């Protein structure tokens, strides 16, 4: 597998006809944010949505880039964390955009991780019946997954991401240098979503990550390469299935289990999203092997071994605090967005690099499997 060697940023195109857009990946790309926006939307004003942590560390660079391009801009800063993906905060963001007199020819800049991207993207989808927006992802998880593909959402008390819209950005600027100061735990959590692309459809990429994950964590060309591979994989899937009626559901590998575990932890720092997805993918491979007989148990063990090697949790018992009740987990799984006419849908695997969508999964089988895992077996 050839690795990017630096120099000019990598460009990945999300091909959606008239709504196609570029993902710009590389170190220092935030410096070009203003000129790229000015080229796409000459004369437009901007409104930045970010969170308190990103505002301290990244907002000055983003604002300076807009200033250099002569782009007038306002801003709104939310609290960090999943709690900001709520009706109350969405209302605040929408009202702030309207109060700033952002017109339909202007745009929103989502500057932050997955929470800010989901929230700001949803606000852009609904204010004035739809504004353009630009994603500037500042976490690994956001750069490889959540801010590519136009899925925007807030959470409901019934579950994660149940209120939202498909609304594609006009540009994604992924500055990989911003990841240098990301806390180790957050970087590991993002790495889980990066590994997902190898597990669902590219065994060669998974093998490469097994050999090179330390270099990805260290930064430089290997990190940029891994991000670009992930973005290309997601861009190809989104181009085939923008609204998640077919192949795009594969991107939910590990998410049915993972979202239920996040809900069980109250969407708190007990379990970060990427950590939940790591456990969810481990469970999906184990379920595929032990309960469905789809692949050798050694394949599932290999996946678990890699996650453990990088320091990610792989078992429900790895989550700090009291374990969730199986009834509650099944209740949250029952609210999964992939359910069709009341039947459970899971992303299962026949091997590393070969995931598929399975509808009509027996809820009793899932319950029995989770009961075994909660018992430590």
Structure tokens at 178: 């911003």
Q: Is 42 exposed, middle or buried (0-12, 13-18, 19+ CB in 10 A)?
A: exposed
> Which residue in the list 73, 273, 306, 373 is annotated as catalytic?
273
Q: What is the DSSP letter of 180?
A: G
Q: What's the rounded Cα separation, in Å, for the pair 72 and 63?
A: 9
Q: Is 243 exposed, middle or buried (0-12, 13-18, 19+ CB in 10 A)?
A: exposed
Q: What's the rounded Cα separation, in Å, for the pair 112 and 119?
A: 10
For residue 106, how many C-alpha atoms fall within 13 Å in the half-sphere facing its CB? Answer: 18
Give the three-state DSSP class for 237: helix
261: left (phi over 0), alpha (psi -120 to 50) or beta: alpha
> Which residue in the list 2, 129, 340, 377 is annotated as catalytic?
129
> Which residue in the list 82, 186, 242, 244 is annotated as catalytic?
244
Catalytic residue flag (residue 214): no
> Which residue in the list 82, 186, 193, 286 is annotated as catalytic?
193
Structure tokens at 108: 């929103």
Pick from 204, 169, 206: which is nearest to 191 by CA? Answer: 206
> Which residue in the list 73, 85, 223, 234 is annotated as catalytic?
234
Owner of token pair 């899937």: 237
> Which residue in the list 252, 262, 299, 373 is annotated as catalytic?
252
Catalytic residue flag (residue 306): no
Distance, C-alpha 238 to centroid of its chain = 13
> Which residue in the list 27, 73, 151, 160 is annotated as catalytic?
151
Q: What's the rounded Cα separation, in Å, for the pair 94 and 27?
A: 32
Catalytic residue flag (residue 151): yes
> Which residue in the list 167, 225, 259, 306 is annotated as catalytic?
259
> Which residue in the list 255, 286, 299, 373 is annotated as catalytic?
255
Beta strands (DSSP E) in the chain are 10-14, 21-26, 46-51, 73-78, 107-112, 132-137, 151-156, 159-166, 171-175, 344-351, 354-361
Catalytic residue flag (residue 252): yes
Q: What's the rounded Cα separation, in Å, for the pair 114 and 148?
A: 10
Catalytic residue flag (residue 129): yes
Catalytic residue flag (residue 338): no
Query: Do residues 247 and 306 make contact, with C-beta atoms less than 8 angstroms apart?
Result: no
Catalytic residue flag (residue 161): no
Count the neighbouring beta carbons within 10 Å of the beta carbon of residue 130: 12
Catalytic residue flag (residue 193): yes
Q: What is the DSSP letter of 254?
A: T
> Which residue in the list 167, 188, 232, 248 is annotated as catalytic?
248
Catalytic residue flag (residue 234): yes
What are residue 4's phi and psi, to 5 degrees?
-60, 145
The residues annotated with a catalytic role in the active site are 129, 151, 193, 234, 244, 248, 252, 255, 259, 273
């Amino acid at each position: 597998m050839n690795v990017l060697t630096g120099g000019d940023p990598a460009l990945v195109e999300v091909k959606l006809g008239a709504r196609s857009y570029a993902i710009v990946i590389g170190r220092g790309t935030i410096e070009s944010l203003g000129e790229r926006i000015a080229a796409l939307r000459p004369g437009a004003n901007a409104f930045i949505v970010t969170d308190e942590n990103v505002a301290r560390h990244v907002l000055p660079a983003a604002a300076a880039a807009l200033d250099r391009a002569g782009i007038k801009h306002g801003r709104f800063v939310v609290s960090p964390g999943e709690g900001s993906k709520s009706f109350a905060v969405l209302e605040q963001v929408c009202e702030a955009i309207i109060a700033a007199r952002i017109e339909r020819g202007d745009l929103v800049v989502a500057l932050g991780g997955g929470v800010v991207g989901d929230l700001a993207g949803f606000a852009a989808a609904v204010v004035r019946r739809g504004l353009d927006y630009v994603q500037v992802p500042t976490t690994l998880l956001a750069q490889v997954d959540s801010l590519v593909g136009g899925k925007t959402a807030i959470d409901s008390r019934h579950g994660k991401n149940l209120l939202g819209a498909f609304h594609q950005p006009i540009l994604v600027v992924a500055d990989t240098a911003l990841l240098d100061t990301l806390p180790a735990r957050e970087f590991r959590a993002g790495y889980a979503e990066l590994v997902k692309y190898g597990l669902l459809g590219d065994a060669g990429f998974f093998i490469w990550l097994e050999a090179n994950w330390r270099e990805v964590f260290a930064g430089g060309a290997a990190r940029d390469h891994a991000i670009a591979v992930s973005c290309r994989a997601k861009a190809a899937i989104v181009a085939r299935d923008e609204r998640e009626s077919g192949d795009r559901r594969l991107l939910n590998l590990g998410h049915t289990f993972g979202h239920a575990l996040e809900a069980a932890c109250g969407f708190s720092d007990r379990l970060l999203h990427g950590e939940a997805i790591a456990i969810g993918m481990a469970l999906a491979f184990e379920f595929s092997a032990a309960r469905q007989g789809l692949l050798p148990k050694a394949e599932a063990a290999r996946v678990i071994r890699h996650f453990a090697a990088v320091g990610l949790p792989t078992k429900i018992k790895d989550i700090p605090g009291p374990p969730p009740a199986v009834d509650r987990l099944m209740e949250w799984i029952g609210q999964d967005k992939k359910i069709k006419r009341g039947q459970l849908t899971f992303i299962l695997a026949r091997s590393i690099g070969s995931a598929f969508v399975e509808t009509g999964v027996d809820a009793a089988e899932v319950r029995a499997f989770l009961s075994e895992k909660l018992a430590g077996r």
